[in-house]
Amino acid sequence: MNIERELGQKLKEGVKVNEPMSRHTSWQVGGPADYFLCPADTSELKEIVRFGRSRALPLYIFGNGTNLLVLDGGIRGLVVKIGEYFNYVRRSGDRLEAGAGTQMTNLARSAAQEGLAGIEFAAGIPGSLGGAAVMNAGAFGCYIGERIDAVRLISYNGESLTLEREEIKFGYRTSNLPGKGIVVEVILKLKKGHPADSLEMIEHFLRERSLRHPELPSAGSVFRNLPGQPAGKIIEEIGLKGMSIGGAEVSCKHANFIVNNGYATAKDILSLIETVRRKVREECNLELQPEVKIIGEEK
């Protein structure tokens, strides 16, 4: 079976073989994807899903790779990026229909310019809207799930599917969306606002982020907060800021971030995650759970 030829000829962007995932993750680490695909529309996405199913190939979907630790051995099967082709925002009354590849900052700005309020907090979250919906991304006390009215997906059978608000379950950095299919469009219900007020809030949130967050490559918060206890505070209090393994370091600016000093491998980051968890367990009798998704194979 020549996947590159068989599937590639059906897709505008073709198929990349052994594409390094380090090019597609914000941590800038990760081994090769066997077959890397960027569908140009939902028809191509359906084609990919059906092709993968008919040949029993594993399928992995991702967006901007800002919440992913891809291990150094890479990902087997078909790896699909929901990217720029799914980047659009359309207004319909007090609703916005936006493609899953829309950047969160652009979404916040587009809503503001339309005079729709309530999504300003999303500015600066570096993910795609699809990834944000799946993760129920949030900031400054707000969550994207609170604004979602419906989600359009492609099921794992390759069929179009719409989930209404009451069919979607959102929790702290989780949702039931991955079990249903691939997110291609999100419908947000927003309030009427004033563009200038929303744009000012956006600038405020962006400033706050640049004060709090390290500049080096990271995947944002590595661990989930415990009830009433921010993970970063726990890690800082036991003196782990600045701890490093290889090129991975617990950020001195924000203890829940692990940064890549330029030469980290996924193994360095994974070892540091495990070491932080062990020390927190030993010293505080608390169990930290990763918020980042750890995927692929070790080398």
Residue ranges in contact with ligand FAD by CB under 6 A: 26, 61-68, 82, 100, 125-128, 130-132, 134-135, 137-139, 178, 182-183, 213, 218-220, 293
Tell me, rounded to whole angstroms, the distance of Cα 242 from its chain centroid. 25
Total residue length of the chain = 299
**Choice between 175 and 265, CB closer to ligand FAD:** 175
Minimum distance, C-beta of residue 60 to ligand FAD, in the bound complex (Å)? 7
In this structure, what token pair is assigned to residue 183? 């997110």
Minimum distance, C-beta of residue 244 to ligand FAD, in the bound complex (Å)? 19
Residue 92 annotated to the active site: no
Minimum distance, C-beta of residue 191 to ligand FAD, in the bound complex (Å)? 21
Separation between Cα atoms, residue 81 and residue 113, nearest integer Å? 28
Catalytic member of 109, 147, 152, 173: 173
**DSSP E strand stretches across the chain:** 16-20, 32-37, 59-62, 68-70, 75-81, 89-92, 95-99, 116-117, 138-139, 142-143, 148-154, 160-164, 170-171, 174-175, 182-189, 191-192, 244-245, 248-250, 258-260, 293-295
Catalytic member of 44, 221, 249, 251: 221
**Choice between 15 and 69, CB closer to ligand FAD:** 69
**Choice between 115 and 230, CB closer to ligand FAD:** 230
Residue 283 annotated to the active site: no
Minimum distance, C-beta of residue 238 to ligand FAD, in the bound complex (Å)? 23
Separation between Cα atoms, residue 136 and residue 154, nearest integer Å? 19
Catalytic residues, by residue number, are 173, 221, 291
